[in-house]
Amino acid sequence: MKTPYLILVLVAAIPTESVAQLSAPLDSATLAASKWRSIGPAVMAGRITDIEVDPRNPKTFYVVAATGGIWKTVSNGTMFVPIFDKEAVISMGDLAVAPSNPDILYAGTGEEDSRNSISPGGGVYKSTDAGRTWKLTGLAATQHIGRIVVDPLDANIVYVAAVGHTWNSNPERGLYKSTDGGATWKLAKFISDKAGFIDIAMDPSDRNTLFASSWERVRGPYFLKSGGPGSALWKTTDAGATWSEIKGGGFPETQKGRIGLAIAPSDAKTIYALVEADTLPKPLPRGMRPDTARAQRRVSGLYRSSDGGTTWTLMRHNEQDARPFYYSQVRVDPRNPNRVYWMSSVFRFSDDGGKTERRGALSVHVDWHAMWIDPNDPEHFIVGDDGGIAVTWDKGGTYDFINTIPLGHVLRRELRHAEAVLRVRRAPGQRIMVRADENAWTLWSDERRLAEYRRR
């Protein structure tokens, strides 16, 4: 974490013995004499939005945090280093490694999971040296990036699903494409100033064929509207020059919300879509309740197509996907098109294309958002959730929680003291309290101990 910790450290590190009122402003001389330092959390971790691995060496991988930047390991997770801390933003949506040159990385800033603690980003960044340095390539006004896909043969061809602003409408959203490595961007598909794009999947057998999902959503201080006429599933067969909407053939015809996508690497005709959709054909006016005397057909859930998106079958209803706007991630086994994983509060999988399901992880944190499957060994994969990352080598039978990332997702922070003033030299009993995502963390300070971490 960056900003939340720095705010706390500034108060604790002022080199003076005076007693300062909490409401008193900090002058330039005081700020100049202060030094930043990390005070934790140490191994709490936090919400993870993406995991990407160097295809040349699976011991080198990247962990993308919702509000904690990008972390890289070259030692299979025994140690991580932050590689995005010097940039202007720290909220992350997605990372893409160019298959033809894994030293080229594209980072989409701005978390895409639209809960009320979301933070905006500032565009798409590019690295040509495996994350050592970064350059902003544009799309800063989009604020939130859902997915980035790089052409497998040409690292200069990049597709970006830009969700757009969370709290208001804006025209800088849609599906963007670059053919010159991010030097310029073309808006390949625009829906409206209220609907952006959230996901993209490229056909593994034809790089000119892609599926993309648009999503209309807006948040206010006391509400979230996920879904609208701008939400849909789209297909192109000419590398984004033209797009056609997927309609009929069993795909939901009611108003839709967020849609997650995955194409089976071993069978490009097999496509999965995790769809948020209304039960009723038309949304009810505000204040009206549905007629519960008649059974309604639920259409939200996991859909599967076996013919490249022409026809669809609802495999699993969506009752387990508690908050589709927050999750809706799907992955397919690299070798088995019938083994599919989908993520919500609970991580689930199926070995028969979704006909039956089982839990994908036990005794690991909940609320799942990210997953990478080893293409050379599908029993090895890495998953990311609201509490960090975990690794399995036996297809999810057992997991190793990787607690080597000094990261936490802070939602609230406060400074407590018995008096109405702050004694900046850490008087006995002074404590800093942080409300992190799913965890509580407290730093105590006294003459005998510098810090004591506690999770509960």
Q: Which helix (H) or strand (E) holds 412?
A: strand 410-416
Task: Indicate if 213 and 354 belong to the same structural domain.
Answer: yes
For residues 214-236, give the mean pLDDT.
Answer: 94
Residue 407 lies in a domain: no
Residue 430 pLDDT exceeds 60: no
Residue 7 confidence class, pLDDT cut points 50, 70, 90: very low
Task: Indicate if 181 and 70 belong to the same structural domain.
Answer: yes
Report how far apart, in Å, the C-alpha atoms of 305 and of each of 39, 210, 274, 327, 442 are.
50, 14, 12, 21, 49
pLDDT (tens digit per residue) in 148-166? 999 999 999 999 999 999 9
Residue 206 pLDDT exceeds 70: yes
| CB atoms inside a 10 Å sphere around CB 449 | 8
Dist. CA 84–CA 131, nearest whole Å: 8
Residue 213 lies in a domain: yes
Quote the percentage of the chain above a pLDDT of 90. Answer: 65
pLDDT (tens digit per residue) in 90-113? 999 999 999 999 999 999 999 999
DSSP assignment of 349-392, as one string? EESSTTSS-EES-SSS---EEEEEE-TT-TT-EEEEETTEEEEE
For residues 422-439, give the mean pLDDT.
Answer: 48
Task: Indicate if 426 and 311 belong to the same structural domain.
Answer: no
State the chain's mean pLDDT as an integer: 85
Residue 3 pLDDT exceeds 70: no
Please report, for the domain that includes residue 133, its CATH number: 2.130.10.10
Task: Indicate if 24 and 159 belong to the same structural domain.
Answer: no
Strand partners, 224: 219
Task: Indicate if 306 and 359 belong to the same structural domain.
Answer: yes
DSSP letter assigned to residue 241: S
Dist. CA 435–CA 429, nearest whole Å: 19
Per-residue confidence (pLDDT) for residue 34, from 0 to 100: 81
Per-residue confidence (pLDDT) for residue 287, from 0 to 100: 72
What is the length of the chain?
Answer: 456
Residue 449 lies in a domain: no
Dist. CA 44–CA 411, nearest whole Å: 13
Task: Indicate if 57 and 79 belong to the same structural domain.
Answer: yes
Strand partners, 367: none
Task: Indicate if 202 and 306 belong to the same structural domain.
Answer: yes
What is the span of the domain harbouring residue 434?
3-41+419-444
Residue 453 lies in a domain: no
Dist. CA 422–CA 415, nearest whole Å: 9
Structural domain total, the chain: 2
pLDDT (tens digit per residue) in 22-78? 456 778 887 888 877 766 666 667 889 999 999 999 999 999 999 899 999 999 999
Task: Indicate if 440 and 333 belong to the same structural domain.
Answer: no
Report how far apart, in Å, the C-alpha atoms of 247 and of each of 233, 255, 312, 327, 330 are.
8, 12, 10, 24, 21
Residue 426 pLDDT exceeds 90: no
Question: Does 148 or 444 have the greater pLDDT score?
Answer: 148
Dist. CA 407–CA 68, nearest whole Å: 7
Residue 360 lies in a domain: yes
Q: What is the 3-state secondary structure (H, E, C) of 290-348?
A: CCCCCCCCCCCEEEEECCCCCCCEEEEEHHHCCCCCCCCEEEECCCCCCCEEEECCCEE
Residue 177 lies in a domain: yes
- For 447, the token pair is 């003459």
Residue 451 lies in a domain: no
Strand partners, 444: 431
Residue 424 pLDDT exceeds 60: no
Contacts of 176-179 spanning 24+ positions with Cβ under 8 A: 176/139, 176/142, 177/239, 177/240, 178/137
Residue 444 pLDDT exceeds 80: no
Helix count and strand count (H, E) for the chain: 2, 34
Task: Indicate if 23 and 104 belong to the same structural domain.
Answer: no
Residue 299 pLDDT exceeds 60: yes
Is 145:108 a contact under the CB 8 Å cutoff?
yes
Name the amino acid, one letter, at 342: W
Is 256:153 a contact under the CB 8 Å cutoff?
no
Per-residue confidence (pLDDT) for residue 13, from 0 to 100: 43
Task: Indicate if 354 and 426 belong to the same structural domain.
Answer: no
For residues 213-227, give the mean pLDDT.
Answer: 93
Report how far apart, in Å, the C-alpha atoms of 272 and of each of 79, 96, 164, 265, 285 are.
35, 21, 24, 12, 32
Residue 297 pLDDT exceeds 60: yes
Task: Indicate if 30 and 101 belong to the same structural domain.
Answer: no
Question: Which of 58-72, 176-190, 284-298, 428-442 is predicted with the least confidence, judged by mean pLDDT?
Answer: 428-442
Question: Which of 115-124, 294-303, 378-387, 422-431 is predicted with the least confidence, judged by mean pLDDT?
Answer: 422-431
Task: Indicate if 69 and 97 belong to the same structural domain.
Answer: yes
pTM of the predicted model, to two decimals? 0.84
- For 164, the token pair is 């757009």
Residue 319 lies in a domain: yes
Assess whether the previous peptide bond of 15 is cis (omega < 30° from 0): no
- Highest-confidence range of 26-30, 218-222, 442-446, by mean pLDDT? 218-222
